[in-house]
Amino acid sequence: MIRMPGMLLIGSSGRNSGKTHLACAVIKNNIKHTDIIGLKVTTIVRTEGKCPRGGEGCGVCSSVEGDFSIIQEEGKEKGKDTALLLKAGAKRVFWLRVMEERLKQGFEALLERIPKDIPIVAESNRLRLVVEPGLFLMVANSSSSVKDSALQVWHYADRIIRTDGQEFDYSSNHIVFSDNQWLLTDSGSIGVVEDMVKWET
């Protein structure tokens, strides 16, 4: 397990949950005090010719040559998740696309491009299987089905943030980088994972 105390990792229960919106809000709130690196990780699972991400023709997986691909966002394609992170104020933003079985190796290769003393705001579920971040948040939309990748890491979450797709039940103002660590500044915010049992059935 790779320890990353300077990383805020945001996962989600399903697609279009709003995790990028939350990540952008956190970046905007904290760039007054520190530079921030933005990161999106797309894990590719081999599925015998079927699209592992549930779509058709997006090219995300088929365009990866080798075990992983690292792209630095330049902001030219507006609307992309990584472009939004850059627009929010991240100093640099990377997109790691990686085969599931090479997740650790791909992330280690990415770390070679990132200064060690700059905090990271990252979007991923499966990255939590190889990285121990300073803070791990899960965004949960009860109206959508739960992804397998979310079920794998749900029990690691420091906080579950509920959303209806528009509003969150937790303010991004409470997520701060201070004294070289990510903190939740309100009380009673850690360890609310017990009701995931209802979602798994």
Q: How far apart are CA 91 and CA 88, in angstroms?
A: 9
Tell me the average pLDDT of the chain.
85
DSSP 97: E
What pLDDT shows up at residue 12? 94
pLDDT at residue 187 tops 60: no
For 47-106, write each residue's pLDDT tens digit.
555 444 445 544 555 555 568 999 999 988 888 999 999 999 999 999 999 999 999 999
What pLDDT shows up at residue 97? 95
What pLDDT shows up at residue 169? 92
Structure tokens at 44: 């590719």
Residue 155 burial (C-beta neighbours within 10 Å; 0-12, 13-18, 19+): exposed
Structure tokens at 51: 């699209």
What is the pTM (predicted TM-score) of this model?
Answer: 0.86
What pLDDT shows up at residue 198? 39
Domains and CATH numbers, the chain: 2-200 (3.40.50)
For 3-16, write each residue's pLDDT tens digit.
999 999 999 998 87
For 114-135, write each residue's pLDDT tens digit.
998 999 999 999 999 999 999 9
Q: How far apart are CA 117 and CA 36, in angstroms?
A: 10
Q: Which helix (H) or strand (E) holds 11?
A: strand 2-12
Neighbours of 43 (CB within 10 A): 22
Q: How far apart are CA 193 and CA 195, in angstroms?
A: 6
